[in-house]
Structures are given as C-alpha cells and as structure tokens.
Amino acid sequence: MSEPILTLSDVTVAFDALKAVDGVSLTVPRGQRRAIIGPNGAGKTTLFNAIAGAHPPTSGKVMFNGNDVSELPPHRRARLGISRTFQITNLFPTLSVQDNMMLALRGLKPKKFSLFGAPDPDEAEAARIGSALKAARIAERADVIVKEMSYGEQRQLEIAIALVTTPTMLLLDEPAAGLSPSERSMIAEVIRSLDPAITVILIEHDMDLALGLVDHVTCMFEGRVLVEEPPEGIRRNAKVQEVYLGKPRHA
C-alpha cells in the first residue's frame, strides 16, 4: 500500500448537541478509489464537508498530503488539491458550459480580477478545460447553455468542473443521484476512466454502482465508522446488512 494522502484522526462535527460525525478516524492511500456508504443520516455528507472545509471539524484533525488542513477554508484546501462535487446540482444555469469551466478554473487565479481583459481563455486554460470536458465526456457541449442540458449532462459537468483545477483528490457526493439507468452507467464510465493518479472518494447510495467502482469501502452509521472493508466483503458483512436492511424489520 502506498503512503496515505488523507488521514482523519478522531474527527467530530457537532451541531449543538447533535454529533453528526462522531470521532471518525480513517486513512486513504494515494490513488485509491474509496466509497463511503451508509443509510440516510449516517453523516456521510457532513464528513465530506469536514474534509473539503465547508464545515470544518469541531474537534480532531484532517491531514491532507502532509498538511494539517483542519482549520483551512474551502478555497485554501482547493488550492492544495482537494476538489469536490455537490449532491445537489449547483452550476451556473444561465452561462455556457465553457463559462462554467472558466469560472471553476479561475477561482484560484489572479486573472479573475482582470477588469477589462479579453474574455477568451488563453492556450493553457483552453487545454485544461478541453481535457476536463473530455474526461467528463461532454467535450462537444462546450457552447451549450447549462440550463438547456439534460440532468445527466449537468452531473457530468459537475465532475468536469471538479476536474478542471487538476485536483489530487476528488470528492464525489452522490454523483449519480436521480439519474436514469443509462445515465448512471455513463457516470460510472466517467469515474472508472479517471486518471488513476487522482484519489477518489465517493458517497453513493446505490451499492451496486459504488461497489463496482472502488477498491475499498467505508460504511458509516450514526456518525461513526461501522465497517471498513474491500467491496467483496462488504456485501456479506452482517453489520452492513443490519443497518441497510435490518432497521425496517424492527419498524
């Protein structure tokens, strides 16, 4: 196993009395594909927010690539190479795909303050936008206005936006939620063919989709890590079956 890129030590995120994430420790090696699964309310998205910085941990430590990022705001973490998508599509609907990509690319660059500069991307920018769109398989849609695209394409654009800053770690928050089966397989294909150097952490409800994509699975329940196992073992794990299937039986 290669050296870890992400290490969480005893991370807790509390909203008043409620501990949404309660003492989570986990380690993700560089280049790994990792899924975080768990029933609703398990604390998956909150954990994402703690990693990406949208909601910094109340206590505990987040180490990324050798840096303690626990206290850093999201854009500082982004600069270090953490990139994420959102569970709820959050794009710029009246702008073109190209403009969406440009905004994503320039967020961390001084060029965003060019008040009277030419609008077009320079060569380096164009190349990065091109390759990100290609990786997300929407290269030919660059001039389309986002609100005119299908929902599946918008999810692909989410991934393209996350990729354009050439992150070292990509956090995907339910990338396939709400998609049709054919759109899901497209998303799966996009994720599978990502550059292997990129570490990918993914939250997904659809176990079949998630398990088919990753090397390792973390199952969360009530804010804590329940099980950590490779995908093959996870299906048979009694605890996992309990939290996923057991509850309704008692209800």
Partner 1 sequence: MTPASKSRILGMTARGATTAAAILIVAALLPLGLSSYQVGLATEILIFGILAMSIDILAGFAGRTSLGHGAIFGVSTYVVVYMTSQAEMSPWLALLLGIAAATVVAAVFALLAVRTSGVYFLLLTLALGMIIWGVCLRWTQVTGGENGMRGDVRPAILVGQSAFYWAVLACAAVVSYAMWRFVCSPFGLTLRGIRDSESRMRSLGYNVPLHLFIGFSVSGVFAGIAGALYAMFNNFVSPSTVALAQSVEGVLMMIAGGVGTLFGAFVGAAAIIVLENIVSSYTQRWLMVLGITFVLIMIFAPEGIIGKLRAIFSRKAKAP
Q: Minimum CB separation from partner 1 for residue 102, in Å?
A: 6
The span from the CA of 149 to the CA of 135, in Å, is 18
Nearer to partner 1, 165 or 218 (CB): 165
Which residues have CB under 8 Å from 28's CB, separation 6+? 4, 5, 6, 7, 34, 169, 199, 201
Q: Is 125 left (phi over 0), alpha (psi -120 to 50) or beta?
A: alpha
| Site of tokens 């070292």 | 168
Instruction: Kindly list the residues in this chain that would bind partner 1 in the complex (CB under 8 A).
Output: 52, 54, 74-75, 78-79, 84, 86, 90-95, 99, 102-104, 106-108, 111-120, 161
Tokens of 195: 């550059």
Residue 126: helix, strand or coil by DSSP?
A: helix
* Cβ nearer to partner 1, comparing 142 with 211: 142
Residue 228, Ramachandran bin (φ over 0: left; ψ between -120 and 50: alpha; else beta): beta
For 53, 100, 130, 140, 153, the CA distances from 92, given in Å and listed in that order, are: 21, 6, 18, 18, 14
Between 60 and 74, whose beta carbon lies closer to partner 1? Answer: 74
Least Å from the CB of residue 184 to partner 1: 24
Q: Based on CB atoms, which residue is closest to partner 1, 102 or 135? A: 102
- Cα–Cα distance measured from residue 34 to residue 202, given in angstroms and rounded to the nearest whole number: 6
CB of 100 to partner 1, least distance (A): 8
Q: Which is nearer to partner 1, 112 or 235 (CB)?
A: 112
